[in-house]
A and B are shown apart, each in its own frame.
Chain A
Amino acid sequence: MTMSGTKVSGTKAIIERCQSLFDDLHFTAAREWKTAKSGRKVIGYMPIYVPREIIHAADMLPLGVLGGGDQLEVIHGDAYYQSYICRIPRSTIELGVSGRLDFVDGMMFPSICDVIRNLSGMWKMMFPDVYVRYFDVPQNYADDIGGSYYVGELAELRDDLGKLRGSPITDDELRNSIEVYNENRKMVGELYDFRAKTPWQAPAAEAYLVLRAGMVLPVEEHTALIADYLAAAKAEKRPMRDNCRIVLTSVFCEQPPLNLIKSLELAGCYVVDDDLLLVTRWLTEDVPTDGDPIQNLADAFLHHSESTAAKYEPNQAEKGQYLVRAVKRTGAEGVIFAAPSFCDPALLDRPMLQNVLSEANIPYIAFKYAENSGQMQPIREQAGTFADSIKLWSAA
């Protein structure tokens, strides 16, 4: 595979490349993509879900903006928020005011919580020359109510991006982009299946870095990157540890530090499923490439998206069942709730999800983190004792 003109092969080289993309808070890869051809535009988006197909159809680069992680010192960002607000909006503002996002032509703020919604308004005031959109999604999944509303939202976004480009987005462009993202989702699914089956061959931190690269790379390059990683990971023989298998959940918005993910595995937990970077697999089935592409995208969201804590679930009987299904599908032995501090969507749902797991006799633990958490000892202790209790005392 060629990335930036360099042949990269073997998991070590691929992961080093992904790590450098992860570490780069100036988004050099996206800047280089933009300057490589005149007229290119970059649209940033925050977690959890935006229809990247529409951005791609406008010949623009969707850029995942996931906060500043544990390497960014937040100086200005703290002035905008109270102390009881999570860290991702602060570090995102820091990225903005420090000029790290000065090449971004638009920013999309998905409907995940009040804080991110309000950040869209703040962004408009702070960066008046940037296209800003609060991207709302339906909480009613009936075709004639939430469906027609969502079709309108998608159509509006399509019109906006067409105007930003200078020419309308055609149906064929959308269909092509849907196909490209179907391929990407398929490859992401293969990566998750491979890890669930042989977690020692694809450590959680590596799988995350490979997935995370898709936040800054063009989707076609990312699909090839996953394929190369899978081929390399399958070819390498790595020792299988007697670890327990867990599903990691509540990590869908503010990202856990990479060391947290590594610490879980060191503590004896193989991560066999998670809700990290949900934008890469929000839609659970291929989106049809024939017919009305906007309608197809809307239908996929309404009827083929996973009901995680990041999505409103009107049916109480369905609440939390995605976790039970994930445990059964992957052969997991427990669930770890790792929620960002002050994360309303994760923490408000947690008791309900834990009740569902208790009823299904699935063990779980819970803790909180911030994207810049540095002290992993308490997490290692919790995860380590959890792993021990499963390995020594569980029935299976």
Chain B
Amino acid sequence: MTIAAGVDVGTGAVKAAVFEVENGETKWLGRSLLRIRQRDPMQLAGEAYDQALEEAGLGRDDVHYVATTGEGEAIPFHTGHFYSMTTHARGAIHLQPKAGAVLDCGALHGRAILVDDRGKVLTYKMTSQCASGSGQFLENIARYLGIAQDEIGSLSQQSDDPEVVSSICAVLAETDVINMVSRGISTPNILKGIHLSMASRLTRLLKSIGAKECVVMLTGGLALDTGLAAAIAEELDKMKGMDATVKTHPDTIYAGAIGAALWGAFRYDKLADLGQLPRAS
């Protein structure tokens, strides 16, 4: 039996997950999510880790491998670090075992990942540096429109005539939105337009990595935005030769932490097989 923990330091929140793995069976023992809100992410990482351990009824000494991901490389108590794409792929497979592709929709970028049934990354592509396809951009727009972030999804789905927004540049898109507000376009139509614009970029990424007939699992901070998920499904329907189904999961925000913990356990067992356990000390 291997006990492993994953700590995911994201842009907006720190997530921790503790797992027990035995003979390929996984048991999720504890979890914690702390919003950063201008606090020190490194300190929060320790707090989130301890909270997840407390829920699991374990102490730090009980954990065989602590894996970090995201921006967590500098966390002092980690055993090893995995890149966020690697962990999101594994976390997505845990939450949706049929997933053949993952769309990681984060605060700063979007990423399409083709995965196999073990959660191994086969290929991937990221959005370019422009923020127009990112959660940060959507947060800014919500602030301009004076709505809460958790209202975005439901408002977007009330749209009857979505307004087209630039998908090239966040600055242009924000200008578009200001013009729309002054022209009296309704908030649902503005939000749906933004969602369609973001979905257009993300689905092009999916196409470019060769995802065709598969389940697409959404992860990252935007994965629970029902408006975005609906827009992605609409955009996929429009694409020729694409027969993909979009899925999400209530625990999708933990995908990175889950993946880190499960890869940590996998790595620990591999080191044990190789007789190199001191590397996981």
Q: Which chain A residues have a beta carbon within 8 Å of chain B's beta carbons?
A: 239-243, 266-268, 380-381, 384-385, 387-388, 391-393, 396
Could you list 5 A-B pairs, sorted by A, with CB under 8 Å?
A: A242-B280, A267-B73, A267-B81, A267-B83, A385-B85
Give the residues in chain B near A392, CB-CB below 8 Å: 86, 120, 263, 266-267, 270
Chain B residues near A242 (CB-CB < 8 A)? 65, 79-80, 267, 271, 279-280
B121 / chain A contacts, CB cutoff of 8 Å: 385
- Look across to chain A and name the residue whose beta carbon is closest to the beta carbon of B121: A385
Task: Out of B79, B83, B270, B278, name the residue touching A384 (CB < 8 Å).
Answer: B83
B140 within 8 A of A: no
Q: How far is the CA of A391 from the CA of B82 in the complex (A)?
A: 9
A271 to chain B, nearest CB (A): 15
Residues on the B chain within 8 Å of A381, using CB: 83, 85
Q: Does B281 make an interface contact (CB < 8 A)?
A: yes
Determine the residue in chain A with the shortest Cβ distance to B66.
Answer: A242
**Chain B neighbourhood of A393, CB < 8 A:** 120
User: Which of A243, A381, A388, A393 has most chain B Cβ within 10 Å?
Assistant: A388
Q: Specify which of A241, A380, A385, A396 is in contact with B78 (CB 8 Å cutoff).
A: A241
Given contact pairs A240-B278, A242-B279, A266-B73, A391 touches B267 in the complex (Cβ within 8 A): yes
A243 adjacent to B73 (CB under 8 Å):
no
Q: Which of B65, B263, B281 contacts A240 (CB 8 A)?
A: B281
A384 CA to B121 CA, complexed, in Å? 13
Interface residues of B in 259-274 (CB under 8 A from A): 263, 266-267, 270-271, 274
Give bound CA distance, A239 to B73, whole Å.
Answer: 13
On whether the beta carbons of A268 and B279 are closer than 8 Å, the reply is: no
Contact A391 to B80, CB < 8 A, known contacts A266-B73, A266-B74 = yes
Contacting pair A396 B274 (CB below 8 A): yes
Query: Complex formed: what's the CA distance from A85 to B80 in Å?
Result: 39
Q: Is the CB of B76 within 8 A of A388?
A: no
Chain B residues with CB under 8 A of A387: 81, 83
CB distance from B137 to the nearest CB of A (A): 18
Q: How far is it, in angstroms, between the C-alpha of A327 and the C-alpha of B74 when the chains are bound?
A: 27
In angstroms, Cα B120 to Cα A391, docked, is 12
- For B76, the chain A residues whose CB sits under 8 A away are 239
Cβ contact within 8 Å between B80 and A268: yes
Chain A residues lying within 8 Å of B266, measured Cβ to Cβ, are: 392
| Residues of chain B lying within 8 A (CB to CB) of residue A266 | 73-74, 81
CA distance A241 to B79 in the complex (A): 5
Q: With CB as the reference atom, state the residue of chain A lying closest to B268.
A: A242
Evaluate whether A388 and B83 lie within 8 angstroms (CB atoms) in the complex, with A242-B65, A242-B280 already known: yes
**Which B-chain residue is minimally distant from A388 (CB atoms)?**
B86
Q: How many Å from the CB of A12 to the closest CB on chain B?
A: 16
B82 contacts which chain A residues (CB < 8 A)? Answer: 268, 384, 388, 391
Bound-state CA distance A241–B120 (Å) is 22
Q: Is the CB of A241 within 8 A of B86?
A: no
Pair A241/B80 contact, Cβ less than 8 Å: yes
Chain B positions within 8 Å of A243 at CB level: 80-81
Q: Shortest Cβ distance from B275 into chain A, in angstroms? A: 11
B225 smallest CB distance to A (angstroms)? 24
Among residues of A, the one whose C-beta sits closest to the C-beta of B279 is A242
Question: Which B residue sits closest to A382, measured CB to CB?
Answer: B83
Task: Kindly report which residue of chain A lies nearest to residue B90, judged by CB atoms.
Answer: A392
A393–B263 alpha-carbon span in the complex (Å) = 11
Which residues of A have CB within 8 Å of B73? 266-268
A385 and B86: CB pair below 8 A?
A: yes
* Complex alpha-carbon distance, A268 and B73, angstroms: 8
Nearest opposing residue in chain B for A381, CB measure:
B83
Q: How far is the CA of A380 from the CA of B65 in the complex (A)?
A: 22
Name A263's closest neighbour in chain B (CB-CB): B73
Chain B positions within 8 Å of A391 at CB level: 80, 82, 267, 270
3 smallest CB-CB distances across A and B, nearest first, come from A242-B80, A384-B83, A266-B73
**Which residues in B have their C-beta under 8 angstroms from that of A240?**
278-279, 281
Beyond known contacts A243-B80, A384-B82: 16 more, CB 8 A cutoff: A241-B80, A241-B81, A242-B65, A266-B73, A267-B81, A385-B83, A385-B86, A387-B81, A388-B83, A388-B86, A388-B263, A391-B82, A391-B267, A392-B86, A392-B267, A392-B270
CB-contacts of B102-157 with A (<8 A):
120-121
Shortest CB distance B274–A (Å): 7
Q: Which residues of chain A are near B79, meaning CB under 8 Å?
A: 241-242
Minimal Cβ-Cβ distance residue in A for B80: A242
**Whole-angstrom distance from the CB of A244 to the nearest CB of chain B?**
9
Q: Chain A residues with Cβ under 8 A from B74's Cβ?
A: 266
Q: Which of B83, B120, B270 has the largest number of chain A CB atoms within 10 A?
A: B83
A58 to B65, CA, bound (A): 57
Chain B residue with minimal CB distance to A394? B270
| Smallest Cβ-Cβ distance to A268: which chain B residue | B81
Contact with A along B69-94 (1 / 0, CB 8 A): 00001101011111101100000000
Within the assembled complex, what's the spacing in Å between the Cα atoms of A268 and B270? 17
* B78 contacts across to A, CB distance below 8 A: 241
Q: Which residues of B contact A384 (CB under 8 A)?
A: 81-83, 86
Measured between beta carbons, the chain A residues less than 8 angstroms from B65 are 242
List chain A residues, Cβ under 8 A from B86. 384-385, 388, 392
| CB closest residue in chain A, given B81 | A268
* Docked CA distance A384–B88 (Å): 14
B21 to chain A, nearest CB (A): 14
Q: How far is A109 from B82 in the complex, measured between Cα atoms in Å? A: 43
